[in-house]
Amino acid sequence: MMLPPSLKKGDTIGVIAPASPIKTDDFEKAICFFQDLGLQVQLGKHLYEEYGYLAGTDEQRLEDFHDMITNPDIKGIIFARGGYGTARIAPAIDYSLIKKNPKIIWGYSDITFLHTAIRQRTGLVTFHGPMVVSDINKEAFDSLSASGFSQLFQPTRLVYSENISPLKVISYGTSGESAKGQLVGGNLSLIASTLGTPFEIDTKGKILFIEDIGEQPYQVDRTLQQLTQAGKIAEASGIVVGDFAESEPKSTPSFTMEEVFQQYFGKLSIPVLSGFKIGHCFPHFAIPLGTEAILSAKEKTLTVEPGVAQPLSAS
């Protein structure tokens, strides 16, 4: 595990779009948000490109990513949005550049593929959190979602409890009602898309986090069945079920999403909890991926170790 250096006021972050395109007027509110944090913002050279349903060609999006990684003035990369296309550039990324220039990498949704690829190729901890166009520009962007960025300035142990949202125990497991391991995962559909690729997610002994949007119960059922048959569920030490937005069944008869989760997770010998406001939702609780975590069914808590290194100036 490799922690990126923390940020300090005056640092510059880079914003790029490795997936779907954005509009040119989407950044005013977000730039002000980062400026209020004491940060400067540099936009990627190809940020406003459009190439079908992509924010530029694969080569352009890859160039922006490599430029931000190798630029010593850029201390963190915040992705503009998800959508589709991140997986297309993953095979061409020079992961040795990331090892030589570890820095904060922050996003979610389609970025899940990149989180997984980077962690498994380099060991770098990355961050699952609100993005520029998808979240910060929205009127619903709230104080809890905004406060998640504070963990980038100082190593912070995060504790998610029912003080944030009601949590449901789907399985207590048989190992003392708690699980330990690296926290991995992200968007369920993107996790499944890694299977059979060089970036297939490793869940062995890890706490698997899942979330999604716009997937009906039968679609989540299908994806969980794929992960189950691939052995990814059985290998995990615990499962964190995040937000599944816009997932109501559109036809009947149907299982509810809760029934699907119960069918797949209810009889597992590991702790499984649902109800976490992590994903395509507000509030959106930001978490590092790749750090050690503890999931407690007894206490109904998820505790996550810091995702950044102690500032060099600290004594």
Active-site residue set: 109, 211, 280
Can you list the alpha helix ranges (DSSP code H) found in the chain? 28-36, 58-70, 86-89, 95-100, 112-122, 143-147, 188-193, 217-229, 232-235, 257-265
Both tokens assigned to 187: 């968007």
Burial of 214 (0-12, 13-18, 19+ CB in 10 A): exposed
Residue bearing tokens 């997610």: 201
Both tokens assigned to 153: 């300035």
Q: How many residues does this entry show for the chain?
A: 315
Contact 224, 190 (CB under 8 A): no
Residue 304 three-state SS = strand
Give pairs for 137-145: CB < 8 Å, separation 24+. Answer: 137/26, 137/27, 137/29, 137/30, 138/282, 140/282, 141/282, 142/282, 142/283, 144/283, 144/285, 145/282, 145/283, 145/284, 145/285, 145/286
Both tokens assigned to 130: 């609100």
DSSP for 252-283? SS---HHHHHHHHHTT-SS-EEE----SSSSS
Contact 306, 288 (CB under 8 A): yes
Contact 302, 164 (CB under 8 A): no
